């Protein structure tokens, strides 16, 4: 299960080489070791919903084009899908790529909006909410970590064995790509209002146009294929998931302060 990566759309503009090193070179290093192993392992790895880039058709399906990345991060994940396909074809590695849609929850990435909003609302600091053209909403298909974990485990459980050994292919091997999302895009403004309710604090908001930094206006997963082949069925709505996150956040950071 390969989940290591340099994540985040915006940081890619500041440090592009870190994305190439981790998401391209790092992935190739892993595949090189796996192809030569005897027996070869099965690989499940993290791609991203960002590969759908500038697509306007929703919900995003695995059959849709994914060759219009809007960020370098997205481009490295699309490159990963192409690279894993070549290793599958040449060496018989069994590989499943999972396109995650805005995963959130306890122990999540501190650079993500829901995490930053929670921190700044509690500190009474102003938060920045981005809008699309004509003040339209930016929306994300927020997917709770527990649902994603179930999808990851199902991908492992349904993987077929690799067909090569010692770097030599002995037959066709399984190659799959699935969306793991929640199928319910939520405007970022609603995310903020849920956090205000849970934190019992009104946010100080600043509305700005969505910058040209690779962020897309919306994401929306079609999970028909994952439901059919992995039995994937998310069950956590955003308010329920954020309630669990806020409980963890307050407990975790209060414990940290007390230990200082």
Q: Which of these is catalytic: 52, 73, 114, 232? A: 73
DSSP string spanning the chain?
Answer: -B------SGGGGT-HHHHIIIIIIHHHHHHHHHHHSSSPPPEEEEEEGGGGTT--SSSB-TTS-----SSHHHHHHHHHHHHHHHHHHHH---EEEEEE-SEESTT--TTSHHHHHHHHHHTT-EEEEEE-GGGPBPEE--EEHHHHHHHHHHHHHTPPPP--BTTB--S---EEEEEE--S--EEHHHHHHHHHHHHT---EEEEEEPPSSS--SB--B--HHHHHHH-------HHHHHHHHHHHHHHHHHHHHHH-
Q: Can 232 be counted among the known catalytic residues?
A: no
Mind telling me the catalytic residues? 73
């Amino acid at each position: 299960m390969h989940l290591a990566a340099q994540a985040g759309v915006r940081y890619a503009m500041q440090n592009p080489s870190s994305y190439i090193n981790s998401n391209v070179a790092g992935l190739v290093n892993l595949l090189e070791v796996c192809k030569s192993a005897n027996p070869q392992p099965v690989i499940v790895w993290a791609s991203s919903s960002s590969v759908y880039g500038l697509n306007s058709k929703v919900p995003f399906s695995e059959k849709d084009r994914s060759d219009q990345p809007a960020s370098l991060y997205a481009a490295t994940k699309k490159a990963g899908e192409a690279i894993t396909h070549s290793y599958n074809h040449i060496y018989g590695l069994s590989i499943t790529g999972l396109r995650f849609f805005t995963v959130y929850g306890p122990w999540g990435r501190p650079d993500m909006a829901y995490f930053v909003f929670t921190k700044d609302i509690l500190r009474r600091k102003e938060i920045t909410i981005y809008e699309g053209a004509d003040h339209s909403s930016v929306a994300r298909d927020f997917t709770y970590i527990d649902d994603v974990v179930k999808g990851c485990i199902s991908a492992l459980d349904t993987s077929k064995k690799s067909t090569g050994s010692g770097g030599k292919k002995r037959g066709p091997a399984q190659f799959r790509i699935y969306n793991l999302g929640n199928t319910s895009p939520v405007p970022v403004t609603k995310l903020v209002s849920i956090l205000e309710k849970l934190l019992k604090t009104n946010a100080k908001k600043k509305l700005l146009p969505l910058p040209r930094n690779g962020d897309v206006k919306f994401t929306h997963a079609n999970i028909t294929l994952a439901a059919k082949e992995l039995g994937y069925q998310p069950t956590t709505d955003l308010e329920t998931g954020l309630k669990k996150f806020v409980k963890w956040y307050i407990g975790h950071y209060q414990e940290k302060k007390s230990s200082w």
